[in-house]
Structures are given as C-alpha cells and as structure tokens.
Chains A and B, each alone.
Chain A
Amino acid sequence: MSKVNKLVCVVDDDQSVRRSLGRLLKSAGYAAEPFSSAEDYLAREIFEGSICLILDVHMPGLKGPGLQEALEKRGACEQIVFLTGHGNVPTATQAMKKGAVDFLTKPFDDEELILAVKRALERAEEQLRRRRERREARGRIGKLTPREFEVLRFVVMGLLNKQIAAELRTAEKTIKVHRGRVMQKLGVTSVPDLVRISQCAGVAPARHSA
C-alpha cells in the first residue's frame, strides 16, 4: 500500500471555491487536491487509496453527474459529495441513487461538509478493505486443488464429513484429510473463519445433489 492512503479531491470551476474548500479541509486535517474541471480529474493517475471527491454539479464541460458516471464505468471506488449552486431535486435524487454520499447546496455548513467528507472516506476505506480481503481470499482459494475446492463448498454449506463423503462417494477419512489441507492452505482454524473467507471471495456453496 502507498504511504498516503487517504485523499480528498475538489473539482469546481470556481477558483475561490476551490481555495476556500482546500483551506477548510486542511483545517479539518485533510490534504485536498484541487481540480478546475472534471476532465482534469479524469486525467489524473488512478489513486490506489481511499478517495473522497467533492464535486460541483454545474461546470463548463463535463458536469458533476457526468463525471460520476465516467468513474463508475472505470470501476473506481471514489466516494462523491456533490455541491450545487441551487438545489435541484431530480439531479440530487439521481446522484444519490448512483451512490453519492451527500448532496450539499452552496453555501453549505462547514460541519456538514466535513462530516460528509469523513463519511465518504470511511466508506471508501471500507470498500477498499473489502476489495483487498476479497483479493487475498481469492488468492488463497486459488491454491486449492479442484477436489479440495469441492470439499470446501460442502463444508461452507454446513455438511458433516460423513455427509460430504456420501456426496462425493468416498471415505469419510479422505474428506477429513482434504478438510485439514483446506484449513491449512486458507490459514484458518475454525469453520466460521472458513465461511467468512469463502464469502469474501464470493465462493458459492455447493448444491445438494440429493
């Protein structure tokens, strides 16, 4: 992971708004990076940490909601707080539906904004963590043999060794050995941990053949 894992970006065409927001964010302990247009932001190299985007709705060129859409397509995990000159209910609803953290009307309350930024960063971090875990879990599960993977899916379903052996038409002893290998390879010691890591990686439980 990179050293700075939190970033707040301000995208607004008005310079004084950018400057004042930067100052306000700095006072709250956040490093803010200013961008004067949506295009400028898209040109920035992708940041690997958690990002909060403070985005103006009305801008020349690509508008706020347009950037939100573009980022969604890129598969990034920026969390967005929208700012607007005057409230427009349909725009706000649309933005919130698409996962915006908040939609603030200028001039806004500083506490409100800082709270929104905090929530956005938390959400971004959470999302980032979940992503990381999934990547890790998938890496570990990838090391399993096909047979071990099959056994894992039955274990996750909550079947006993005996039942699994019946399903796979093999001896209970063999299943016991496989299970031990799975626990070892995935680095867990209990069944609940096993279930958690499987869920994290998105492993589907086996379907009952009977």
Chain B
Amino acid sequence: MMRAIAQPLDGGMSSTAESEQGRLDYRPFLAALLVFAAYYFGAKIGFALTFQPHPVSVLWPPNSILLAALLLTPRRIWWVVLLAAFPAHLLAELQSHVPSTMVFCWFISNSCEALIGAGCVRYLIECPVRFDRLRNVGIFCFFAAFLGPFLSSFLDATFVVINHWGQGGYWEIWRLRFTSNVLAALTLAPLIVTWTAEGIAWLGKIRRQRFLEASLLLLGLLSVDTIVFYKLAPTAETTLLYLPLPFLIWAAVRFGSRGASAAVCTLTFLAIWSASHGYGPFFAKSAEENALSIQMFLIVMSVPLMLLAALIEERAKTETALRGREERISLAAESADLAFWTINFERNESWMSDNGRTIFGFAPDEPLSRELFLSRVHPEDRIAMDEAIERARAASQTFEVEYRLLRPDGEIRWLISRGRYLRDDRGEVSELIVVAIDVTAQFKANLQLRLQREEMAHMSRVSSMGELTASLAHELNQPLSAIVSNAAAGRRFLAQGSHDLKVFEELLADVAADARRAGDIIHGIRDFVRKREGTRRLVNLNEIIREVLRLLHSDLLGRATSVETQLTPNLPMVDADPVNVQQVLLNLLMNSLEAMQLKPAAKRRILISTRREADSSVVTSVRDYGGGLPEEDMDKVFTHFYSTKPNGMGMGLTIVRSIIEAHGGKLWAENVDEGARFFFTLPVTRKSETREVA
C-alpha cells in the first residue's frame, strides 16, 4: 500500500519539475528515470493483483501511470516519457514470459490509450491539469478514463487475437482490458496528478489539526475496509459494501480531490488485494465475474466522489475569491470613507460594511433591515429616499440620492448614495447594492458658500428690508444732523444778535433741502412697496409658500430647522403681488429662524399653515418655537425701530405690515406655547375688483 502511494509521488514530482519548461537539462532524464521506475513497479503491482488461477488483472496501473506522466509533462517531452516507459514495459512483460511481439504490441496499445486520454484532456483543459473543477473532472472521466481505454481496447484485443495469445474471444478480451483500464485511470491517475502537481512543499504547511484529522480518516477507512473486504464471508450481505462510503465522503468534503483520490485508491487496493487473496464479498463467483463486479463497484464509487470533491473545491475557491473581493472592497470603502450595503428583498436582510455602520451609527453586530435603515434617514428625507429606491426598483435603474442621516446621537450627516439592483436567475429584482459617501464636510463648506451667495442674491432682495433699513438709517442721519446743526447755528446767530439775512436765507434753504432729502429717503420705502402694484395677479398662497420654502431650503438645512406645512387644499386665489407676498413670508420666516438660532436643533421647528376664513379672506400663519415675543411689547412689534434682535434695526415688520395693508390685509402676532405665531390675511377678491385694492 505504502509503496503504491510512494512510487507515483516520486515519479510525478520530477514530472512537475519538467513542466517548468525544462530549464535544466537533467530534468527530462530525471523524469524518464522516474517514469521508468514507476511504470515497472506499476506493472509488478498489476501482476500481483490478478485473480488466481485465471491471469486476469483487475487493475492495470502502468497505463494510468503513463497517462498521469503525460498529463503532468509538457507536450514537447512526451517522447522522452514514452521512450522511458518502453524499457520498463519490456522488462516487466518479458519476466512474465510473454512473447516479444505481444509485448511490443501491448506497448503500442498502452501508449495509444495514454496519448488519446492525455491529448484530449490537455487540449480541453488549460495547463496545468487540476481536479478542482467540475468541468475538468468531467473531461477527465470521459476522455481519459473512458474514451482512451475504449478505443485502445479495440487495438489491444486485435493484437491479442492476431498473435493468438489469449484464450478468450475478441470481445471478452476487449471487455476485460477496458474495465481494468477504466478503473486504473479513474483511481491512479487522479491520485498521481493531485498529489504531485504542486510538488511536496504544501506538505510542510499542513497544520497539526489537519494532519490528525487525515490520520483519523485513514485509520477509520482502513478499519472499515478491512472489516468489509477481509473479515466478511463471501456470502455476507453486500449492503455492507456501503460502509466505507461515509469515510470516502469525509475525505472528499474535507480534503478535496487529493483526499478523495487517496481514499479511493486505498479502497481500491484493499478491495482488489483481499479479493485476489480469497477474502471478502468479491470471492463468490468465477474469477472474471469477481473481477467485473469489483471493478464496477469501484468505478461507481470513484466517479461521483471525484465530482463531489471537485465541486467542493470549486466552491471553496469561489468563496475565497469572494471573500478576497469583499475584503478589497471593504478596504477601498474604508479608505474612501464609503459605506457599502446590500438589501435582500426576498429575505428582508441587509448587510453593511463596518465603515457604513460607523457612518450610520449602527452597532457592529446589530441586525439590519430596510426599515431600520430608513429609520436612520432624516424624517424629512425618508419619503424621498424610499421613493427613489422604489422608483429605481420598478425601472431597474441605477439611482442616486442626496439625503441626510439623523443618527441616534442627534448628529446630522449628509450622504450621497448610489445604488443598483441585482436580478436573480428568473430576472426578478432580488437585491439592492448601495454605496454611500459621507459628504457632510463638503456639504457644510458648500452650504457656507451657498449661504453667502444667496445672502447676496435672494436674501438681500427681500430682506432688502434688512439691508435697506440699515442703509436707510445711515442715509437719514445725514440730512437730519445737517438740519439739527443748521438750526442750532441759526439760534446761536440770533442769540448773538446777528441779523445777516443772507446767512439766514442760505441756512433755511439748506434746512429745507435736507428735509426734502430725508423725505425722499422715507418715500423710498413706500415706493419699494408701491412700485410693484402693477404686477398684481391672482395667486395661490400655497404655491407661494412652497416656492418660498424652496428658496429657503439651504438656509433651513444650514440652520438645522425643520418646517411643517398644514396647507388647506383648494384655497381660493388672492389678488396680490407674488413677489411682495414672498417678501412677507421670507421676512417672517427669517425672523423665526433668527428667534430660534439659540435653541437646540431638535427644537427648531416652524409650522406654516393656511386656511380660509369666513369673511372671504385667506389666513396664513407662521409659528415658531423661539420663545415668543415679550408680552409687554406685543403692540410695539410692528412699529418702527422696534427690535428684539441684538442687531436688528426694527424695520422688517414695519415693511411687512405696509405690504399687507397695501393689499387690504391684516398682520398680527400672538404668543403660543414656546414661541410666537404671526398671522396675515389677504382678502379673496372678485376679479373685477382687483385693480384698486391698495
């Protein structure tokens, strides 16, 4: 037994060395030497495993040794292999007194078998030949283990009949040789190829645990085989023949093609050896029948086992490759601060990379689901996010969404996610892969920029009030101080008894001019409101509110303020200047935002509602949670230069009121729980009345 394994191992090793393109000259010779030795001893074993008294070889190793050698060596030195096998063949056969013509003919048929098998396999499988893929094993079984023996057996039987050597008829000889060579090819060739293809370096890397397991397996297999093939009477239950099967499967599952081939070989040698020595269940009938049944048994055992081993190796390899890819993706994701996750719709399962869990604030072992993931999305973005996922699912497109996360610790992060759907074999959407990048830092920087830019654009337009009032005060102060100075100068001149009329004339003219100038400035405010009167039209307040919220979107984001709307549907149209109404809303909203800027982010809420009043007007209210207005100053809020803000000029609400009143509406405020609520009404007018409302 040990010899049987050791021999091919040595032979194959040098062959492997050969396959490295024969860099050193001695390698082909070493290969030749080993092929010679292996072939010779293989033949010896073959002779030993014949069923006495009938000289029928149950297993003929030399052919499969030759096959394995050809599978392992480069095609250009095949002639060396064949040349080395020839003297071994002569030596072995002549010892058993076979006529030299027959010996020569047999070598031809044996070489043909090996060449057909190896040629087909090497043509179909890219070098090097391994038994770790289902396809490879299938090709090997069909071409090397079946087709080679099948075709060469015709040649063999013909030679035997021509030389008048065997006692049997043509078909009998053909069958005997065919089955024996199929068995040899199935058991020995894979053993040699799997154990030698990668040299012996791997033996040193085996962990002790693996080694122990292999020893245990071998021990079990040997014991069971011994019991089944040695101790059992020839008449015993043939079902016991399946006893080694668990061990064979164990070998295939745990040790792959290498383990399976070794286990099959062990089984083969033990079964044939015991049968050839008159033991076991295969010693009941004639020698030929015994040989056939043992061959069939072993062939049937080995083919599925090899396929199973290949399948398992293939899967393990795929898994390793997958894991490697996953690791690479994880590494890439981590270094790019990306989050990866997948959602399986059928099982409602989610997986997320470690980095993603950090970004989303999930614990490393927290089970995930789509609902849980959506719960982390900011409530205001949740519906949009869900819709984007569903839309992409229906259209099976890649989607990209920008959204906010609200983490359990209250932190808000901005993300951009890109996702794609995977379809299963039936073409149905089964899984969603999403990659998300945390753009909080960029977003904040962008927001800052956008805020600054917009402050110059739309902010300043409406808050023209804010800006306007500041410059207004400055502008007004110039003529006012000039008037005051001139008046004081005049008084002093009079007190000094000066009666220079020219001086007083000039002085009074200056006073009048400055007063006019001040008046012009004041008119500027009114014009600001009035000059847009021509642009009135029927407007839908709900639409204006939505538009203003769009305008303010980035400010609201930047100030972490959420806005809720309760807009009454089918609101009647009001006759108004849409830009002025926008200005009113923007001003009220800006006031609310400023009132809440010192409140915690969770409390920063604005509620906007519209409703229709019985007196045919539309009431719009803006409610905040900024602590409300000082009770005692409630009526002063709308007067000039009143402000609760440290930097406020106190002009904004005055202008708001002048706009509302110019539209025939009313503006008032009240304190509500935790904040203030501003109301304004705009009358619903019939179209005919629209012109002269102001």
Which A-chain residue is minimally distant from B492 (CB atoms)? A27
Please give, as numbers and ranges, the residues of chain B lying within 8 Å of A86 by CB-CB distance: 473-474, 477
- A19 interface residue per 8 A CB criterion: yes
Interface presence of A21 (CB below 8 A): yes
Interface size class of A (residues with CB under 8 A): 20 to 34
**Other-chain residue from A14, A24, A109, A111 in contact with B478 (beta carbon distance below 8 A):** A14
- For B473, list chain A residues within 8 Å (CB): 85-86
Does A107 contact B477, Cβ atoms closer than 8 Å? yes
Q: How many angstroms between the C-alpha atoms of A24 and B496 in the bound complex?
A: 13
- Whether A126 sits at the interface, judged by CB under 8 Å, is no
The residue on B at minimum CB distance from A13 is B478
Please name 14 pairs of A and B residues whose Cβ atoms are closer than 8 Å in the assembled complex, sorted by A.
Answer: A16-B510, A16-B514, A20-B489, A23-B486, A23-B490, A27-B488, A28-B492, A86-B474, A106-B477, A106-B478, A107-B481, A107-B484, A110-B484, A111-B488
Task: Report the nearest B residue to A56, measured CB to CB.
Answer: B478
Question: Given A20-B510, A85-B474, A106-B477, A14–B482 Cβ distance below 8 Å?
Answer: yes
Contacts of A111 in B (CB 8 A): 488
CB contacts (< 8 Å) of A131 on chain B: these are none
Which single member of A27, A58, A108 contacts B484 (CB below 8 Å)?
A108
A17 interfacial contact with B, CB 8 Å: yes
Given contacts A23-B507, A27-B496, contact A85 B486 (CB under 8 A): no
One digit per residue, 1 when the CB lies within 8 angstroms of any chain B CB and 0 when it does not, for chain A 92-108 equals 00000000000000111
Q: Mark A12-48, 1 if CB is under 8 A from B, else 0.
A: 0010110111011011100000000000000000000
CB <8 Å contact, B478 and A20 = no
Q: Across the interface, do A20 and B482 meet the contact criterion of CB distance under 8 Å? A: yes
CB contacts (< 8 Å) of B503 on chain A: these are 23
With contacts defined as CB atoms under 8 Å apart, how many contacts are there between chain A and chain B in the complex? 75
Determine the distance from Cα of A156 to Cα of B474 in the docked complex, in whole angstroms.
57
Bound-state Cα–Cα, A86 to B489, Å: 23
Closest residue of chain B to A17, judged by CB?
A: B482
Closest to A16 in B: B482
Q: For the complex of A and B, list the 7 residue pairs with the smallest distance between their C-beta atoms, beginning with the closest.
A: A110-B488, A27-B492, A106-B481, A107-B481, A20-B485, A23-B489, A85-B474
Residue of A nearest to B474 (CB): A85
Please determine whether A24 and B513 come into contact, CB atoms closer than 8 angstroms: no
A85 to B482, CA, bound (A): 12
Find chain A residues with CB under 8 A from B514 CB: 16, 20
Given A23-B489, A86-B477, 19 more pairs with CB closer than 8 A: A14-B478, A14-B482, A16-B514, A16-B517, A17-B478, A17-B482, A19-B510, A20-B483, A20-B484, A23-B486, A23-B490, A24-B492, A27-B489, A106-B478, A107-B484, A110-B484, A110-B488, A111-B488, A113-B485
| B171 part of interface (Cβ distance < 8 Å) | no
Determine if B493 and A107 form an interchain contact, defined as CB atoms under 8 angstroms apart.
no
**B492, A106: Cβ atoms closer than 8 Å:** no
Rounded to whole Å, the gap between the CB of B573 and the closest CB of chain A is: 43
Residues A20 and B486 in contact, CB atoms below 8 Å apart: yes
Roughly how many angstroms separate A34 CA and B513 CA in the complex, as a whole number? 20
Known: A23-B507, A110-B485. A16 touches B479 (CB 8 A): yes
Residue of A nearest to B485 (CB): A20
Residue of A19, A20, A28 with most partner-chain B CB within 10 A: A20
| Shortest CB distance A28–B (Å) | 7
Q: Are B510 and A24 in contact (CB under 8 A)?
A: no
- Kindly supply a per-residue 1/0 record for chain B positions 491-510, scoring 1 wherever the CB is within 8 Å of any chain A CB and 0 otherwise: 01100100000010001001
- In the complex, the answer to whether A106 meets B480 with C-beta atoms within 8 Å is yes
Task: Report yes or no: B480 in contact with A26, Cβ–Cβ below 8 A.
Answer: no
Q: Smallest distance from the beta carbon of A106 to chain B beta carbons, Å?
A: 4
From residue B477, how far is it (CB to closest CB) to chain A in Å? 4
CA of A20 to CA of B486, assembled, Å: 5
B474: chain A residues within 8 A (beta carbon)? 58, 85-86
Query: Are A17 and B485 touching (Cβ within 8 A)?
Result: yes
Chain B residue at minimal CB-CB distance from A21: B485
> Given the complex of chains A and B, what is the CA–CA distance between A108 and B481 in angstroms?
7
- With a cutoff of 8 Å between Cβ atoms, the chain A residues found around residue B496 in the complex are 27
Q: Is the Cβ of B477 less than 8 Å from the Cβ of A24?
A: no
The closest CB in chain A to the CB of B495 belongs to A27
Question: Contact between A16 and B513 (Cβ–Cβ < 8 Å)?
Answer: yes
Chain B residues near A14: list those with CB within 8 A.
Answer: 478, 482
Q: List chain B residues, Cβ under 8 A from A26.
A: 489
* Interchain nearest-CB distance for A61 vs B (Å): 17
Asked if A17 contacts B481 (CB within 8 A), the reply is: yes
Complex formed: what's the CA distance from A169 to B272 in Å?
137
**Complex: chain A residue closest to B479, CB-CB:** A16
Known: A16-B513, A16-B517. A27 touches B481 (CB 8 A): no
Q: Using a CB-CB cutoff of 8 Å, which residues 490-546 of chain B contact chain A?
A: 490, 492-493, 496, 503, 507, 510, 513-514, 517
A113 to B486 CA separation, bound complex (whole angstroms): 13
Across-interface contacts of A16 in B (CB, < 8 A): 478-479, 482, 510, 513-514, 517
